[in-house]
């Protein structure tokens, strides 16, 4: 039984020994990892890590928290495109809108998202989207970026919204990334949405080093914790762990070309 962590950040300084993290993941049957960029410099770190490990791939993007810094870099678009051409880059992201914390202004977030979509729309790569408290604004921008009238391929990562927003995600053909939030949320509608995600649209993620699942709360989150997330979701959804693992592995491999 193989599992894939479709969204982690093991290039962060939280992990002084990434070899141990990758080895521990493999021992937990987590055989492939997508290391997701949050700034252009951080994306380079993810690419460098992917070059060292055959089970690690990378994505390139500026997180909405970093939108202002991205816009202030006059060379950002050129750097972005150069990074996308590097080996083992399998996605654009994470990009999107986060109006919950507003580390960058909403205007800057909106502009940065539009710029990143415009710069990468011809890349053919799928997208990793981060959306929090900004659904209507996000859909408006996304729907305006459809090359040839075709919706963009991608995943809404760390999905923790209610069934109504799930319908919006699925209607656009996007995948849904579920992580450790589901193991500790007290929101019944979040759990109901997790139950309703079609098996052929579901991918698993940790968002490590964040969102450590139960029963490991208080520990640093690692890709190996995908196994705990898979077990919880299988029980929640009434599926076997093997069925969930097989489907989510296939989905991640299809989406990212792993």
Decide if 233 contacts 241 (C-beta within 8 A). no
Identify which of 201, 203, 197 has the alpha carbon closest to the alpha carbon of residue 238.
197
> Which pTM value belongs to this model?
0.96
Residues of the chain with pLDDT under 70: none
Identify which of 8, 132, 117 has the alpha carbon closest to the alpha carbon of residue 59.
8
pLDDT of residue 101: 85
- Return the SS3 of 98: strand
CATH class of 3-256: alpha beta
189-225 confidence digits (pLDDT tens) = 999 999 999 999 999 999 999 999 999 999 999 999 9
Q: Kindly write down the DSSP assignment for every residue of 208-240, as one continuous string.
A: TTS-PPTT-TTSPP-GGGHHHHHHHHHHHHT--
Structure tokens at 246: 């097989």
* Beta-bridge partners for 175: 155
Structure tokens at 87: 């080996």
Residues 6+ apart with CB under 8 A from 253: 4, 32
């Amino acid at each position: 039984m193989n599992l894939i962590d479709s969204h982690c950040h093991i290039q962060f300084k939280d992990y002084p020994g990434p070899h141990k993290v990758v080895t521990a993941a493999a021992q937990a049957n987590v055989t492939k990892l997508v290391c997701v960029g949050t700034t252009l410099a951080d994306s380079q770190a993810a690419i460098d890590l992917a070059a060292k490990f055959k089970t690690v791939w990378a994505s390139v993007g500026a997180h909405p928290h970093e939108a202002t810094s991205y816009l202030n870099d006059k060379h950002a678009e050129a750097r972005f495109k150069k990074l996308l051409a590097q080996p083992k880059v399998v996605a654009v992201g994470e990009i999107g809108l986060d109006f919950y914390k507003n580390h960058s202004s909403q205007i800057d977030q909106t502009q940065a998202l539009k710029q990143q979509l415009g710069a990468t729309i011809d890349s053919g790569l799928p997208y990793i989207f981060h959306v929090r408290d900004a659904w209507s604004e996000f859909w408006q921008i996304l729907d305006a970026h459809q090359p040839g009238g075709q919706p963009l391929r991608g995943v809404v990562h760390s999905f923790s919204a209610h069934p109504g927003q799930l319908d919006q995600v699925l209607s656009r053909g996007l995948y849904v990334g579920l992580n450790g939030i589901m193991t500790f949320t007290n929101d019944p509608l979040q759990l109901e949405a997790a139950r309703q995600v079609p098996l052929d649209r579901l991918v698993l993620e940790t968002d490590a080093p964040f969102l450590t699942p139960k029963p490991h709360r208080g520990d640093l989150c690692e890709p190996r914790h995908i196994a705990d997330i898979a077990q919880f979701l299988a029980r929640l959804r009434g599926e076997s762990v093997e069925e969930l693992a097989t489907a989510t592995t296939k989905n991640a491999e299809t989406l990212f070309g792993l």
